[in-house]
Amino acid sequence: MKKLLLLLIVASFVMPAASSAQRKANSKQLTPRRTAPVIPSNSREATLRNQLGNALRMAQGGQYESAANALFSLSRRTELADERPQIKYILGTMLIELKMYQTAAFQFVDVIRTKHPKYSKMAIEKLSVVADSLGDDTILNYAISRVDLNDFPANLKDMIHFRLGEIKLRNREFGQAAELFGRVSYGSSYYFQALYNKGLAELEANQPALAIGTFNKMLDARRKAPVTDTNRVAAQIGLARALYQKQDWEASIEAYSQVPRDTIMWHDAIFEQSWAMLRAARFRSALSNFQTLHSAYYEDFYMPESLLLRSIVYLYICKYDEMEKVLSLFEKTYGPVRTRIGDFLKTTTEASAFYAEVEKAHFMKTTDKSANLRLPYIVLRHVLDQGDVKRSMHYIEKLNQERSRVEANSSFRASPLGQYALKILSNRGRNAKFAVGDMVKAHLLNMRVELRDLYEQAGFIRYEMITGRKESIKKKIAGKDIGTEQIDEKVDRQFYIQNGYEYYPFKGEYWLDEVGNYHYLGKQSCE
């Protein structure tokens, strides 16, 4: 197909019998001069067209770098202004072959702006593919906004529908997003991600019944995949969330329990399952999850809400001493976090400084090496996991890879095209980093507000704890103290072993175990 395309392109460059400039030149007599002879314009054009023919032959022969350099020079010649859309389109295709997607995008944008009847449409198709490779919504929006979706070739429609659905989802246009995701055909590489996003859009639109059907459809399609298959696990946790939103607590708890522990989604599943257990009044089971959530293995995770949730469970079962310890741990852990976020926001205004901080955390996360951070690592790790920041960091990584390819080739780097590419990459990288800096600032502001609200909730919980303690003391004085019977006193130990649990009698001490099958067997303290 590539050779056929290039042959068609070569065929489109048939030399005219005589250009307007040639006819004009032939109608006048040239006056000889004693200085260096002036080359007639028709001779210059003929030379340029020969160079263009050579460039096309190099492209056809797979000499992409040489062809790209020649085409770049020719695209700047005023004598070839009429052929510029064609030249820049072919230049863009050469750059794609060289995996220089961002530089290629600029060529296609230039072609689209000319509104050429043939090459503009072809450039839109190429630009959409480049935008998909880069993960750049700005370029994709530009391409799609200039053409009817029905005009895209069939092999690109799944990608276009998926990317448009993502944009609609981020813009909170949930109905349109679900409809676009639903257009992605089975067998497409985007199908399962589109199905998952369709379920998310339905949940956001408060349609849990539809979302349950979507996630079950996705699960059915992945039944034969390994239990740790990413799409299968994503469908499982999506189903659990849909059941939770439907307030089917028991079914939600069961769905969360099907998420395998050796996947990155297990930690989120455990935390969300704890909420479902609280709503279902399964306090013992919720405390079992907290022993895992608050183990040393997850000390780098930002999850202040989980500590407050744990304290609420202790409140329900009247474990005031344990409740006091958890609230103190919350204040000890997240008090300094709140302060450092506030101080950073007060002293930092430049977007570049916000980006620099998250870049250092990204370096720590990917290399496992320490860096000098002004903000706690748990905060920056949380910010890096946000969807908008993650997508933009991926885009910056794509730009860095393209820059590396240019700089690794010394001859290409020294060429006019190489210098042009480096300039583009530098500008786009700088703008992308500023954009990430603004995103980081927005997330930090949200985290500061969240921590302020959580501290207020912690105050209310502490008030309830003091009230509960007072009532407990009154009962003791009145001789109505509660006995020491355990919650599961009459359940045989073998029951827990058969169900995969370790049997740890809980004596009231506060401790954090390793990640495992902890099952709470504490004493009931409430009537």
292 is a domain residue: no
Calculate the dihedral angle through the C-alpha atoms of 140, 107, 98, 96, rounding to the nearest 10 degrees: 40
281 phi and psi, to 5 degrees?
Answer: 60, 30
Q: Which two tokens stand for residue 25?
A: 């030149």
Q: pLDDT tens digits for 321-346?
A: 999 999 999 999 999 999 999 999 99
521 is a domain residue: no
CA 320, CA 463: separation in Å to the nearest integer?
11
Judged against a pLDDT cut of 60, whether residue 37 lies above it is answered with no
188 is a domain residue: no
CA 362, CA 393: separation in Å to the nearest integer?
9
Q: What is the predicted pLDDT for the residue at 296?
A: 75
Q: pLDDT tens digits for 198-255?
A: 999 999 999 999 999 999 999 999 999 998 999 999 999 999 999 999 999 999 999 9
387 is a domain residue: yes
Q: What is the predicted pLDDT for the residue at 481?
A: 56
The one-letter amino acid code at 399 reads L
Q: Is 176 within 8 Å of 164 (Cβ atoms)?
A: no
462 is a domain residue: yes
Model confidence at 492, pLDDT cuts 50, 70, 90, reads low
Judged against a pLDDT cut of 90, whether residue 356 lies above it is answered with yes
Judged against a pLDDT cut of 70, whether residue 78 lies above it is answered with yes
Find the domain containing 84 and state its range.
1-14+45-151
Q: What is the predicted pLDDT for the residue at 41?
A: 54
Better-predicted residue by pLDDT, 340 or 476: 340
Q: What is the predicted pLDDT for the residue at 325?
A: 93
377 is a domain residue: yes
Interval 243-272 mean pLDDT: 92
Q: Which two tokens stand for residue 329?
A: 């741990």
Q: What is the predicted pLDDT for the residue at 11?
A: 45
Residue carrying the six token digits 């912690």 = 458
Model confidence at 353, pLDDT cuts 50, 70, 90, reads very high
Q: Dihedral of CA 72/77/82/83: which sign?
A: negative
Q: What is the predicted pLDDT for the residue at 212?
A: 96
Q: Nearest to residue 66, comparing CAs of 91, 42, 43, 87?
A: 91
Boundary-marking domain end, from 98, 125, 151: 151
Q: Is 74 within 8 Å of 48 (Cβ atoms)?
A: yes
Boundary-marking domain end, from 151, 185, 215: 151
CA 256, CA 238: separation in Å to the nearest integer?
9
Judged against a pLDDT cut of 60, whether residue 284 lies above it is answered with yes
Q: Nearest to residue 297, comparing CAs of 497, 518, 499, 507?
A: 518
Number of domains in the chain: 2
> What are the residue ranges of helices labelled H in 301-415?
304-316, 320-347, 351-367, 377-384, 387-408, 410-414
Least confident of 33-42, 50-59, 81-90, 490-499: 33-42
Q: Is 441 within 8 Å of 345 (Cβ atoms)?
A: yes
Q: What is the distance, to the nearest Å, from the Cα of residue 503 to the centroid of all Cα atoms in its chain?
A: 41
Mean per-residue pLDDT of the chain: 83
CA 178, CA 214: separation in Å to the nearest integer?
10
- CATH number of domain containing 87: 1.25.40
Q: Is 88 within 8 Å of 75 (Cβ atoms)?
A: yes
Judged against a pLDDT cut of 80, whether residue 133 lies above it is answered with yes
Boundary-marking domain end, from 151, 181, 202: 151
Residue carrying the six token digits 């820059």 = 403
Better-predicted residue by pLDDT, 1 or 386: 386
Strand, helix or coil at 183? coil
Q: pLDDT tens digits for 166-180?
A: 889 988 999 999 999
236 is a domain residue: no
Least confident of 57-61, 180-184, 376-380, 414-418: 57-61
358 is a domain residue: yes
- Write down the number of H helices and E strands in the chain: 24, 2
Model confidence at 525, pLDDT cuts 50, 70, 90, reads low
Judged against a pLDDT cut of 70, whether residue 22 lies above it is answered with no
Q: Nearest to residue 234, comparing CAs of 284, 187, 207, 200?
A: 200
Interval 98-107 mean pLDDT: 95
